[in-house]
Structure 1
């Protein structure tokens, strides 16, 4: 299934895609969030006769594909060629940082650079959304705890990240710096998360081209590692790293400016499009 949240900011409704038709799920669940991502609920949704669900006319705003996210966890330097372009060694263990949940926006909402931004950058990433409580799991069982997958743009302000002293979180958590969606594609529909082509373009120019097969730590390995540090809860989002081609790795370094348009795609997970604005 491709689950979708649609509607105005803060008032999104649950839906799913029936081919190219968006259908409303409000009669069956109140939202797409941790409490509705368990296997039992997802199985019930799979058994619904889609023709009985109301079709949504027009082109409503698409919101983040998961609501009420508990933790927004991110893995840094998880592609060997990205680590190389940054001039950094391959990590021995997954590098963990957090994005503030207030960064989360819909897949086509504007990205707004904060005051003082000098080096705002792009990062296409595969997101994995936890579907059931996860503690001390092995990599062999880890994917059974995933409800589904989505696209995340891990927008990053490199000046804040690198030069404000402290955690990467400072440069990762600005408002609108976490476009998520459009779909939450359930794990049964997506299949192997380690074989997905991914791209990001700015103003129509390809910047990032990669495949999740080149991750240093697979989704399963990441979940195993994190679940041995703390409990993962339904609705937690894990953004699993970005391939090469970020602006900070270019020569000369290249960053976003007002009016730029980012377009992202991961095979099977849809597309995102964001226009860059400046905070007042």
Structure 2
């Protein structure tokens, strides 16, 4: 599959980004390098063939307004034995995250003083297209708006509490960078997620190895809770999960979805 090479990574032609510059705010689609085309609202409809804009990495915002955020833990076969995989299928590890954790690509995450380090969890995020409940697996794709990259940071060395707290591990400010684009449509590749820390490749894994695939996740969740438009589901990460600290640069790349760039300070 051919992708468009841009300053924010290799993007699918059906990708949309949200940008803000001194002269123009709105949605764009990739052309090549730093050249993007302005769009008429959040649709793959070009404003004008001449309406090109040159952008910098700092111009890109979170690509879509997110509603609720749901995470899926322990969802890759590399992580567990066949016995534990069977148990997971019966009882998936779902959890919620707060919206204050969201942050755009090329922004800085300020590491709270309660942590010395955090774990990187590069993931595929799925955005829900419309309200759904009790959805069958073979119908789940009809409720997918698109896909984007998530970096679901996880705090593990919390020093201020004796007991583990999933809220404080997953929902601190800036703990969920997403973007820099959303690929529209339910058609998906077998995404390969690569995590690069300080220019060194640390993690590489394939969504073919998900325990619950994306359609199964949506169907399973919808049996218990109503999923709404623009809900974000973070589908999980494989091991090893690299530990990062203040001063580190993290890049998560997925062909078709771009490159999510983050810095810890």
For the aligned pair, the TM-score class normalised by the smaller chain equals 0.7 to 0.9
- Check the 8 A contact 1:209/1:245 in 2, yes or no: no
Structure 1 position 79 matched with structure 2 position 76: yes
Match of 1:22 in 2: 36
1:139-178 CA-to-partner distances (Å, cap 9, x unmatched) read: 10101110100000001111349x6535523201111111
SS of match in other structure, 2:138: coil
Cα gap change, 1:137 to 1:208, in 2 (>3 Å): same
Quote the Cα distance in structure 2 between the aligned partners of 1:274 and 1:47: 30
Deviations 1:84-111 (A, max 9, x none): 6xxx933233211112111111122112
Q: Please give the residue correspondences for 1:157-196 in structure 2 after superposition, counting only pairs within 5 Å.
A: 157-160=155-158, 165=163, 167-187=165-185, 191-193=187-189, 195-196=190-191
Cα separation, 2, equivalents of 1:229 and 1:211: 28
Distance in 1, matches of 2:134 and 2:162, equals 35
Q: Is the 8 A contact 1:125 1:239 kept in 2?
A: yes
Residue 52 of structure 2 is aligned with which of 48, 55, 58? 55
- Cα shift readout 1:113-155 (whole Å, capped 9, x = no counterpart): 1121133110100000011111111110101110100000001
Q: 1:210 aligns with which of 205, 211, 214?
A: 205
Q: Which runs of 5+ in 1 are unaligned?
A: 33-44, 248-254
Q: What's the CA shift string for 1:41-98, capped at 9, x where partnerless?
A: xxxx33546515x32224152111212x1101110000021346xxx93323321111
Cα deviation digits, residues 179-210 of structure 1 (max 9, x gap): 1111100125xx335x1111101112221110
Mapped partners of 1:146, 1:50: distance in 2:
28
Q: TM-score, normalised by structure 1?
A: 0.80
CA contact 1:124–1:200 (8 Å) conserved in 2: yes
Q: Is the 8 A contact 2:101 2:171 kept in 1?
A: yes
Count of equivalent residues: 244
- Report how far residue 243 of structure 1 moved: 1.4
Q: Deviations over 1:206-264 (max 9, x none)?
A: 211100000000000000011111111111100000011113xxxxxxx3122111111
Tell me the equivalent position of 1:41.
none
**Partner residue in 1 for 2:245:** 257
TM-score norm. by structure 2 comes to 0.84
Which structure has more strand as a fraction of its residues? Answer: 2
Q: Which runs of 5+ in 2 are unaligned?
A: 1-13
Superposed counterparts of 1:142-153, under 5 Å: 142-153=140-151
The SS at the match of 1:140 is helix
Matches within 5 A, 1:218-237: 218-237=213-232
Q: Structure 2 vs 1, CA of residues 93 and 235 (structure 1 numbering), >3 Å: closer, same or farther?
A: same
CA distance in 2, matches of 1:83, 1:122: 19
